[in-house]
Amino acid sequence: MAGERRVSIHGGVVRRPVAPWTDTVHSLLAHLHAAGLPVPEPLGVEGAQEVLRLVPGEAGEQAWPHQSLISAVRSAGSLLRALHLGTRSWVPPPGARWAVPSEGGSTVCHGDPKPTNMAWRDGVAIAVFDWDMARPAPEVSDVAYALYWFAPFDVDEAELRHRHLSKTFDAHARIEAFLDGYGWTGPLDVMQAVADRREQAVKEVVYLGERGHMPHAAWVDAGWPDRWRTEPRLP
């Protein structure tokens, strides 16, 4: 899909296209990094590119083998919770801007917490990067989004193989493990929350595409949002 070549990595540093919300995200990342949380240290903006330090571990497509065990899913839940807690003490700069409208509250959600946006070591999630979609929002926003990917929903046999999951994997146990790792207390209608968050994610792609942001505009042109508008299903 579009977007891969927008990111360049050399000498332990990643360069990505700058966006109107980059300064806000860098302020948040600087706060989390200073608190000892595992996110990329923001190094600044150079022309049209933002510059961040690489986090250690295996990331992107290399994430899939790591996330196949239940213990890995639990570790991802714990990490997301730690990051959410860390965002609560951050004070947004005046005129803070986000990729999508703020949903309010004192927690900043990552906005795209999936296995490939985490760095992994030995089946443990050790860092989260790609904070472009961050926005203040209730925690359930990220939890439901992560459950879509970690359960996972909407996977055929080929995709299961790609994600290093056996045909007999237990989606319900993986959902429980994520929520347990996160420390989720209280009720959660997982199917409804995942369906709602999925629909919101599709709308967010359209929102960004209509404003000319890449790669969302390319996804909209290619008709992806309509194909994504299906009821999420567990295998």
Ligand X SMILES: Nc1ncnc2c1ncn2[C@@H]1O[C@H](COP(=O)(O)OP(=O)(O)O)[C@@H](O)[C@H]1O
**Residue 14 within binding range of ligand X, rule CB under 6 A:** yes
Q: Under rule CB under 6 A, which residues in 49-108 are in contact with ligand X?
A: 52, 54-55, 59-60
CA 27 to chain centroid: 18
Q: Under rule CB under 5 A, which residues in 127-166 are in contact with Mg ion?
A: 130
> Of 76, 44, 227, which is closest to residue 151 (Cα–Cα)?
76
Kindly state the tokens that stand for 153.
Answer: 């929903």
Closer residue to ligand X (CB): 61 or 231: 61
Specify the 3-state DSSP secondary structure of 15. Answer: strand
Q: Under rule CB under 6 A, which residues in 15-34 are in contact with ligand X?
A: 16
> Of 207, 203, 204, 209, which is closest to residue 221 (Cα–Cα)?
209
Instruction: Tell me the closest approach of the beta carbon of residue 225 to ligand X, in angstroms.
Output: 17
Closer residue to ligand X (CB): 9 or 173: 9
Q: Looking at this protein, which amino acid is placed at residue 34?
A: A
> Of 168, 174, 135, 169, which is closest to residue 151 (Cα–Cα)?
174
**Residue 194 within binding range of ligand X, rule CB under 6 A:** no
**Residue 117 within binding range of Mg ion, rule CB under 5 A:** yes
Closer residue to ligand X (CB): 126 or 155: 126
Region label for 78, one of left (φ > 0), alpha (ψ between -120 and 50) or beta (otherwise): alpha
Count CA within 13 A, CB hemisphere, residue 40: 25
**Residue 220 within binding range of ligand X, rule CB under 6 A:** no
Site string for ligand X, 126-165 (x = CB under 6 A): ---xx-----------------------------------
Closer residue to ligand X (CB): 63 or 143: 63
Closer residue to ligand X (CB): 52 or 151: 52
CA 73 to chain centroid: 14
For the chain, count helices (H), then strands (E): 8, 8
Q: By the criterion CB under 6 A, which residues form the site for ligand X? A: 3, 7, 14, 16, 40, 52, 54-55, 59-60, 116-117, 119, 129-130
Which residues lie near Mg ion (CB under 5 A)? 117, 130
